[in-house]
Amino acid sequence: MPVLAIKLAYRNLVGAGLRTWLNVSVLSFAFVVIIFHNGLIDGWNQQARRDTIAWEYGFGHLLNKAYDPYDPFSLQDGHGILQTKMRQRLIPVLIQQGTLYPGGRMVPVLLKGIETDQEILKLPTKLFLKTDADIPALIGKRMARALKLKKGDRVLLRWRDKNATFDAANITIIGIFNNNVPTVDNGQIWIPIEKLWEMTGLSGHATLFIATNDYVHVPIPGWHFKDHDTLLAVLDNMIAMKKVGGSIIYFLLLALALLAIFDTQVLSVFRRQREIGTYIALGMTRLQVVALFSMEGAMNSLLATLVGSLYGIPLLFYFAKIGIGMPATADDMGISIAERIFPVYGAGLILGTIALVVISATIVSFLPAKKIAKMDPADALKGKIQ
């Protein structure tokens, strides 16, 4: 029977013409949009993870226990000297507060001291080796834009040393790095860690260490380690929220398509009474007719899969190849976001979407068709059921 039902359902559906193709178009559109949207978010997530690891997280962070990344006041005491065999496999970063005076303005900044010969982060710290500026500094493109600073500019910086005594000097912007990670850019000034030690008198101190790939963590008193996954969990959560937000649109689209199928089904169960009676007169059981009508509705989703892949596959591949340009305002979200995001479509996403569409289309087709089981075939043949 299933083979027969599929065959008959296909004949009926294609025979029904325009209405079928209308339903199929809307459904296939919902399909492609769902896959595209999720693919975009997944692509963004992957890019954000990649970039954040490359620019900020490395292979994990070892943080001074007194330092809380969400509390700038903890910077004052949240640092120390680390004694461990693993020290060679850790890149120290010392973070201090300071104030910058670009063009007469007063801007609070984070001074981040980092080793000049590190290779774990993409920050172009090698540039420090090629300069003879007294206090060389690197800033990101957002910071440069916000403060209208260019390479070669000298700006007055004020900071406090370990005895809380104010000090001031000019720093020289020796480079502006392009990046997708606002959290290493906004409000930050990167300088060689030896220089910062000298400026603050905190020689050998670090607020946190960035782990290299062969770092193996053993508990160290006064410090705690956050691995990749812990660090990325925050990012994952934020992106998951974006996913839910965007889903509303495509669930509406899907609901619209399902409503159209439901409507078609209700109408056909009503309009095709004589046909239903004829099927029964020809020897179909009512359940076979219910199955046939449900199959017709469900087949909308199979046709939609087919039609959707006809235009969807080239379209989705095209976008996966050239990427989607992100508006500049997207940069303010505090999550890494590239100028172009390349959607990725996983097998899970595609199969999951097909399953979602097929199952929901089958359900909305079955509900009206269930009525057929209660029909009196003699009345159906007269076409007089209300």
Partner 1 sequence: MKIISVENVVKCFPVGDGKFTALDHISLDFFTGEFAGLVGPSGSGKTTLLNIIGSLDKPSKGKAQVAGKDIEALTHKQAAQLRNHSIGFIFQVFNLLPVYTVFENVEFALLLQKKPWHERKKAVMDALEWVGLENMADKKISKLSGGESQRVAIARAMVKRPRIMLADEPSANLDAKNTHSIMETMKTLNQEFKTTFLFSTHDEKVMQYLDRIIHLEDGKVVKDEIITSRKEDF
User: Interface with partner 1 by CB under 8 A: which residues?
Assistant: 4, 7-8, 11-12, 14-16, 274-275, 277-278, 280-288, 376-378, 381
Which lies closer to partner 1 via its Cβ, residue 273 or residue 336? 273
Calpha distance 355→132 (Å, rounded)? 63
CA-wise closest residue to 12 among 275, 371, 256, 258: 275
Contacts 24+ apart (CB under 8 A), 223-226: 223/62, 223/63, 223/64, 223/65, 223/80, 223/82, 224/62, 224/63, 224/65, 225/60, 225/61, 225/62, 225/63, 226/60, 226/61, 226/62, 226/63
Please, what is the minimum distance in Å from the beta carbon of residue 328 to partner 1?
54
Please, what is the minimum distance in Å from the beta carbon of residue 12 to partner 1?
6
Please, what is the minimum distance in Å from the beta carbon of residue 262 to partner 1?
21
Which lies closer to partner 1 via its Cβ, residue 11 or residue 340? 11
Residue 345 structure tokens = 């479509």
Which lies closer to partner 1 via its Cβ, residue 142 or residue 272? 272
Which lies closer to partner 1 via its Cβ, residue 11 or residue 162? 11
CA-wise closest residue to 116 among 92, 89, 95: 92
Please, what is the minimum distance in Å from the beta carbon of residue 290 to partner 1?
11
Which lies closer to partner 1 via its Cβ, residue 179 or residue 268? 268
Which lies closer to partner 1 via its Cβ, residue 15 or residue 327? 15
Residue 90 structure tokens = 């850790």
Which lies closer to partner 1 via its Cβ, residue 3 or residue 216? 3
CA distances from 284 to 137, 277, 377 (A): 83, 9, 11
Report whether 350 contacts 313 (CB < 8 A).
Answer: no
Tell whether the torsion through CA atoms of 72, 74, 79 and 85 is positive or negative.
negative
Please, what is the minimum distance in Å from the beta carbon of residue 303 to partner 1?
15
Please, what is the minimum distance in Å from the beta carbon of residue 378 to partner 1?
4
Please, what is the minimum distance in Å from the beta carbon of residue 380 to partner 1?
9
